[in-house]
Structure formats: structure tokens, C-alpha cells
Amino acid sequence: MEEEGVVKKFLYVNRKAPYGSIYALESLEVVLIGAAFEQDVSMVFIDDGVYQLKKDQQTSVSSGIGMKDFSKTYRALEGYDVEKLYVDKKSMEERGLSVDELVVPVTILDDAQMGELMEQQDVVLSF
Amino acid sequence: MEEEGVVKKFLYVNRKAPYGSIYALESLEVVLIGAAFEQDVSMVFIDDGVYQLKKDQQTSVSSGIGMKDFSKTYRALEGYDVEKLYVDKKSMEERGLSVDELVVPVTILDDAQMGELMEQQDVVLSF
Amino acid sequence: MLHTVNKSPYETNSLSSCLRLARKGHTILLFENGIYGALKGTCFENVVTDALNKYQICVLMPDIEARGMRVDNVITGIKTVDYAEFVDLVASNSTVQAWL
Amino acid sequence: MLHTVNKSPYETNSLSSCLRLARKGHTILLFENGIYGALKGTCFENVVTDALNKYQICVLMPDIEARGMRVDNVITGIKTVDYAEFVDLVASNSTVQAWL
Amino acid sequence: MKFAILVNEGPYQHQASDSAYQFTKAALKKGHEIFRVFFYHDGVNNGTRLTVPPQDDRHVVNRWSELSKENNLDLVVCIAAAQRRGLLDENEAKRHGKNANNIAEGFRISGLGQLIEAGVQSDRLVVFGD
Amino acid sequence: MKFAILVNEGPYQHQASDSAYQFTKAALKKGHEIFRVFFYHDGVNNGTRLTVPPQDDRHVVNRWSELSKENNLDLVVCIAAAQRRGLLDENEAKRHGKNANNIAEGFRISGLGQLIEAGVQSDRLVVFGD
């Protein structure tokens, strides 16, 4: 699956809440498939995207809203060598969220750091 | 098509801009079909919905964004006895729009009047 | 009259328009991503708490729980409901308006 | 770097997040419903005019015209482009980020 | 009480169809009558029999078909919206010279008048969309 | 220059597919190469041959098929997203025991790897969505 050894910086931008729409889930599916390509992957969570990582999500096909809880999959990312996960500082603050309420370890970036990260990318995927 | 002479107050709530999504166009199609049922119909335009009525829309299947301009259809509403068109005052002000920039005559409602109108309805359709 | 809001107040203006245009005494149900408006500790907490003086506000628990929240996270004064009670809210209000 | 915004600033927070996180010198293209952020006389005019000090802002004319607006309605300093120039903007910036 | 349901979005992309399903199920359980579920806009895509969701996920289309069978639900797909989006039954496919159709069990295609009628005939109309 | 295009929304409901089409056409006209157009999420619905839009409206699906034919465009529909939403080619239909398929001319179904590959191989990736 490798493309002649080309390694690009891929950024996945997640700005949408889970369950209300499918973007969070299908974005994660791209990241997992993409991992086989051994690119330099980062994921950022901005705006309602930070809610994707909230701990204690509870729903299943047969209970609650009738959709499966896919939040545990974020924990599997490490096994795919996807370890650069960033959350937007302001988005966390507006929502009163702290990093220990999230399912995976993340790095908090302020506005300037987030802009810098984006600028360093070769490919930006947003859903 | 009449239902045993029942006449209900139908309100169509339009809150979305045209072209970016199909809701404005398909909402209008419901109103036109619904006219045959001789119900008591009102349409309100709130938030970006007021942009649906902007004069001078210019696009066609073969030019511009490649979608047909359907704004002239609002002018046909009168022929279907759909004459109660209301726009939200604050939405107009925020957008710097005046009623003479709209394709059809409308009545401006302030917050209290809009709330009152909504409360009087039997059926509220929003898209 | 019942108003339903299914959008996050951070993402769209649906809740804000609903709070501006609904009338005193109306009921507002927050569900789907709309539940984010019902949570403690957010930048919307004050606005929504104030709105409780004018409206009855309800929130759908299955949507709260799916998103990793619990009753403890819900602003005091907001009523938690399940789908059956959502049905009751529709039945007990003569009109329903969806703020999509 | 090129940022694209296709959402109305009234309806969603896409433009506001883009303006907060893009870096000085970046280019922002407003298209689809995003063009409503490029108009004179609106409550966003000041914010967007200020942003012109930090960013190059462009707007897609076919989307402007479809929505009943003309060049005269566009805030001074915003560059109007057609689809061909949209392509040029993508070609001349090494990365494109869509604020959906 | 008599309810009508309007679904404006397709399966999976938005929660609208899921919420409408949960609401409809709860209403039936409480003894209410569902006069009709009307599928408009992308909602028409809830009526395709060609979906194959992952095994561990819910089957949005089949859930509606089954609920319809158990409760004699009237599931109506808007014809104009369906034509735009490629949802056809056998008649429609024939009429438009298409060599396939994709409508699912329990769904029928009809006009927008059925939505208005649902509004007139029902005590409540509840809209699920995006 | 080599471009890749990602389309996240279906035909008609949102402008995304229209904008992507206009952009792609303009890029080709300027002599750029389109490495691939990838359809994800509801975007897969752009690949159905069963749509019958009103005569006075554009035909979103056919426009893509024709652009593909004229320019040898690679139009790829994501298999996982397509299965969820009921977009199948003959093989997929057979594999899942479905008695119909609905894929349009010029489109092919493949995996998400094709999107990543497009990102790796192209100079630019442009995303159109909602």
C-alpha cells in the first residue's frame, strides 16, 4: 500500500459532534484505513468536534438512541501509530471540558499553535 | 382533494438560505401543492430564510452556479391564494435588508408578533 | 406550544432563534445535538438558565447519555425526559415547531 | 494556505472559527452560503473588514450573483473571483482547508 | 391521538431518521395512532432496499420496514424528491425507462399531497430533520 | 498540477456536488490533471443512475458521468459509505444477495484507501461538503 515511500503530513479536522451526524464516525474510519499508508498523521478536534472524545458515551443498537457507541475506537488509534491528537483550547473552555474527561490523551493547542499546525500540513481532510 | 371541509392553519417556516441547500426550493414545492387543499396558509422567513426572497437572483442550469433560479416562483404564490408572507424584523436588520429588496410584498413581524403568529397555528412545517 | 431544537448552540443559531421567538410559557425540548445547550459549566449555561424563567425546558436523556453526559451534567430546572415523555410532550401541546 | 468557508456566518460558526485559527497572510475564500459573510451593510461587515488586515479574503461571484447580490454589495477589499480563479487560488496555495 | 411524522434526512448521515423511528415506536407503544410517516428531501433515501450496513450497526431501512409490518404503518416517500435522488418503485422505473428499482418493503411512493393530508387529518405533525 | 477532489454530500440536497463539479470543470479547462474525484458520506449518492430530475433542472449524476467520459475522470465511490446508503454495482449486489444495482456510468466502487492514495499522489486535495 506504500506509495514509493512518499510521506506526507495528513491532518484530519473534526469539528462536528458525534451521533447527530455520521461525520465523526466516518472520519475515524478514514483515519484507521489511512494508517496502513504510513503517512504522518495528526488529528485535531475543534468546536463541537471535541465532544467526539467525551468519556462515558453510552448507547447501543438496542438501547438509548439505537446507535452503537464508537468512542472506544479512538483508544485503538495508538495501536495504529496515530498518536498526534490535538484539541482546541477555546473549544474546550467554552464547553467546560477538561482533558481528563476525554477517552484518549490529547495535547491542547491555543489559537496560534493550532494555526501553526494547520500551516505545516500537506493534506487537510475535513468532514 | 378537500378533506371534509376541514380548514387548518398551516405555517411554513423557512430559515435556510437558497442554493446552498435544497430546503428553500422543496419547501416552496410543498406550499404550491398544498394550495390545492384550501387550508389557511402562512409562510414565515426567519434567519437566512429571508435571503430566499432577495431580488435579482441570477443563475441558470447553463450559467453561474449551474442551478436554476427559482425565486420567481414566489411571485406565483399570490395566484395560489398564498398571500400571508411574513419576514422576521431582526433577521432583516442583521442582514441590512429592506422589504423593497424582496421579490414579493411581505409583512414585517417583530419578536412578539412572530411568537404570536406561531402560537396560532395548527400545523407547523419546517424544512 | 412545543418547540424542538436538535442543533448544538455552538454550531448553529437554532437555539438562539428559538429562545428569541418562542412565547412565555412555551415548552422547549432539546434533543440530538441540541442537548449541548442543556449542560452545566458551558458558556451557554447562563443564557439557558435565564430562559428557564420564561420557558419550560426539557432534554432527551438518551441523547444526553449517548454523548457521555449524565443527569448530573444537566442544568438544574431542566426536565429530563425519555422518548415516551417526548411523545407526551407532543400530545399535551397543540402545535410542535421544529427549529432545524 | 487557503481556507474555504461555505457556510453562512449567521447560521454556523465556520467563518468565526476560521477567522480565529487561520494565520496572518493566509487566504480565505467565501463561497456557497459563505458569501453572506462578504456583504456590505450586514452585522458582520465590521468583523470581516477588520479581518482584511490579517487575511486576503476572496468571494466567489457566481455564488454572489445566484443569491441576488452584485459586485457593489461586496465589502471593499474583498477580491471577487470566478471558478477559474478559485482553481488558481488552490494551485497557488500549498494546502487547502475546508471549514465545513 | 393521531400523529403524523415528517422525516427530512436520509439514513445514517443525520440522526433525524433514528430519532423519528424512536419517537414513532414510543408513540405506538403508548397507544397513539400513526396516521402516516412521510419521507421528504433526502428522507426518501430511507426507502431503499439496497443498503448493507455493517453487521454491528443498526439497519435503518429494515427497522422502518419491520415497524411498518408490525403496526400497519403507512410509509410514504415523496415522488418528486424521490425522482431527484434515485429512489424508484417498479412503476416509476418502468415509466422513466430505468432498468432497476430500489424501493424497500413497506414503503410506497406518492405525491406531496399526502404530506398536506397528513397535516390536515392528524392531531399533531412532528418534523425530524437537519 | 494534479488535483484530487472529495465530495461529502449527495446530489441536490446540498450544493457541495455542484460546486465540486464546477471546480473540476474549471480545473480541467485550465489544463490541470484531476487525479481522482472521491465520493464519501452521502456523496456516494452522486453515483446512482436512477435519478430523474425535473426537465428544467440540471442532471447532477449525468453531468459527472459525461465529464468523466470526456476527460477520462476517475470517479470513485467509497464502498463502506455506499453499502450503508444503498449504492451498489453488479458485483456488490451479487455479493450481498441484492436483486438490483444502481451505479451510474463512469463511477466505480472502491475502498477508502483510494482517498488516501489520492491525497498522497496529488499536489492538492480540495474538499466539498456541508
pLDDT digits (tens, 9 = 90+) for E70-93: 999 999 999 999 999 999 999 999
Instruction: Give the DSSP H or E segment for B25.
Output: helix B23-34
> Which residues of chain E have a CB within 8 Å of the CB of B10?
116, 119
Indicate the residue type of A118: M
Write down the CATH number for the domain with range E2-128.
Answer: 3.40.1260.10
Indicate the residue type of A125: L
- Tell me the mean pLDDT in the region D14-27: 98
Pure H helices in chain E: 16-29, 60-71, 79-85, 90-95, 113-121
Residue B3 confidence (pLDDT): 47
Name the band, by pLDDT with cuts 50, 70 and 90, for residue C79. very high
Comparing CA positions, the residue from D66, F68, D38 lying closest to residue B69 is D66
Please name the fold of domain D2-99.
Hypothetical Protein Ychn; Chain: A, (3.40.1260)
Q: By CA distance, what is C100's nearest residue in D? A: D11
> Which residues of chain A have a CB within 8 Å of the CB of E64?
none
Domain coordinates of chain B in residue numbers?
9-126
> Percent of chain E, pLDDT > 70?
100
Residue D50 confidence (pLDDT): 98
Mutate to test the interface with C, among D12, D20, D36, D44 (most CBs of C within 10 A): D12
> Which residues of chain E have a CB within 8 Å of the CB of C6?
15-16, 19, 128-130
**How far apart are the C-alpha atoms of A92 and A47, rounded to whole Å?**
8
Tell me whether strands C27-30 and C56-60 are parallel, antiparallel or unpaired: parallel
- Tell me the mean pLDDT in the region A11-36: 97
Instruction: Confirm or reject contact between F48 and chain E (CB < 8 A).
Output: yes
Nearest-CA distance D88 → chain C (Å):
31
| CA D70 distance to own-chain centroid | 15
Per DSSP, the three-state class of E5 is strand
**How far apart are the C-alpha atoms of C52 and A36, rounded to whole Å?**
51
- Tell me the mean pLDDT in the region A7-22: 98
**How far apart are the C-alpha atoms of C91 and D4, rounded to whole Å?**
44
Mutate to test the interface with E, among C67, C83, C95 (most CBs of E within 10 A): C83
Nearest-CA distance E129 → chain C (Å):
6
Residue F34 and residue F122 in contact, taking contact as beta carbons nearer than 8 Å: no
Instruction: Confirm or reject contact between F55 and chain B (CB < 8 A).
Output: no
Comparing CA positions, the residue from F66, D68, D65, F24 lying closest to residue B64 is D65
**Using the beta-carbon criterion (under 8 Å), do C11 and D10 form an inter-chain contact?**
no
The CA-atom distances, in angstroms, between F32 and each of B65, D81, D90, F10, F23 are 21, 18, 11, 25, 11
**How far apart are the C-alpha atoms of A67 and A62, rounded to whole Å?**
8
**How far apart are the C-alpha atoms of D76 and B19, rounded to whole Å?**
25
Instruction: Confirm or reject contact between A46 and chain D (CB < 8 A).
Output: yes
Cβ-nearest to B29 among E80, E121, E127: E80
Q: By CA distance, what is F125's nearest residue in D? A: D96
**Using the beta-carbon criterion (under 8 Å), do B51 and D32 form an inter-chain contact?**
no
Told to judge if F106 belongs to the known catalytic residues of this protein, a careful annotator would answer no
**Using the beta-carbon criterion (under 8 Å), do E117 and B3 form an inter-chain contact?**
yes
Residue A4 predicted with pLDDT over 90: no
- Tell me the mean pLDDT in the region C1-18: 98
Residue B87 confidence (pLDDT): 98
ipTM tops the 0.95 cut: yes
Please name the fold of domain B9-126.
Hypothetical Protein Ychn; Chain: A, (3.40.1260)
Residue A6 confidence (pLDDT): 86
Residue D39 predicted with pLDDT over 80: yes
Cβ-nearest to F27 among D62, D87, D95: D87
Q: Is residue C33 left, alpha or beta, with left meaning phi > 0 and alpha meaning psi from -120 to 50?
A: alpha
Per DSSP, the three-state class of F117 is helix
**How far apart are the C-alpha atoms of B20 and D6, rounded to whole Å?**
8
Residue A8, burial from CB neighbour count under 10 angstroms (0-12, 13-18, 19+): middle
**Rounded to 5 degrees, what are φ and ψ at A84?**
-95, 90
> Percent of chain D, pLDDT > 90?
100
**How far apart are the C-alpha atoms of A41 and A30, rounded to whole Å?**
11
Q: Which residue has the cell 478536534?
A: A45
Residue E92 confidence (pLDDT): 97
> Which residues of chain F have a CB within 8 Å of the CB of B68?
56-58
Mutate to test the interface with F, among B67, B69, B72, B73 (most CBs of F within 10 A): B67
The half-sphere exposure of F73 on its side-chain side, counting CA atoms within 13 A, is 29
Cβ-nearest to B48 among D10, D40, D70: D10
The half-sphere exposure of F65 on its side-chain side, counting CA atoms within 13 A, is 14
Residue B6 confidence (pLDDT): 86
Mutate to test the interface with C, among A48, A55, A88 (most CBs of C within 10 A): A48
Radius of gyration, CA atoms only, chain C: 12
Predicted confidence (pLDDT) per residue in B40-62, tens digit: 999 999 999 999 999 999 999 99
Cβ-nearest to C17 among B47, B112, B124: B47
Mean model confidence pLDDT for chain C: 98
Residue D85 and residue D61 in contact, taking contact as beta carbons nearer than 8 Å: no
Residue A7 and residue A121 in contact, taking contact as beta carbons nearer than 8 Å: no
**Using the beta-carbon criterion (under 8 Å), do D23 and A119 form an inter-chain contact?**
yes
Mean model confidence pLDDT for chain B: 96
Q: In what order do the strands lie in the sheet with D79-81?
A: D79-81, D56-60, D27-30, D2-5, D96-99
**How far apart are the C-alpha atoms of D10 and B45, rounded to whole Å?**
14
Neighbours of E70 (CB within 10 A): 11
Comparing CA positions, the residue from B119, A51, F14 lying closest to residue C9 is A51
Residues of chain F with pLDDT under 50: none
Grid cell at residue F23: 471546480
**Using the beta-carbon criterion (under 8 Å), do C66 and A57 form an inter-chain contact?**
yes
**What is the DSSP track for B61-109?**
TTBTTSS---TTHHHHGGGGT--EEEEEHHHHHHTT--GGGBSS--EEE
Single out the catalytic residue among F78, F81, F82, F118: F78
Domain coordinates of chain F in residue numbers?
2-128
Residue A1 confidence (pLDDT): 47
Name the band, by pLDDT with cuts 50, 70 and 90, for residue A3. very low
Q: Which residue has the cell 485559527?
A: D21
In this complex, the chains that touch B, judged by 3 or more CB pairs closer than 8 A, are C, D, E, F
Predicted confidence (pLDDT) per residue in D65-87, tens digit: 999 999 999 999 999 999 999 99
Q: Which DSSP category does E14 fall into?
A: B
Single out the catalytic residue among E5, E78, E79, E118: E78
Predicted confidence (pLDDT) per residue in B79-94, tens digit: 999 999 999 999 999 9
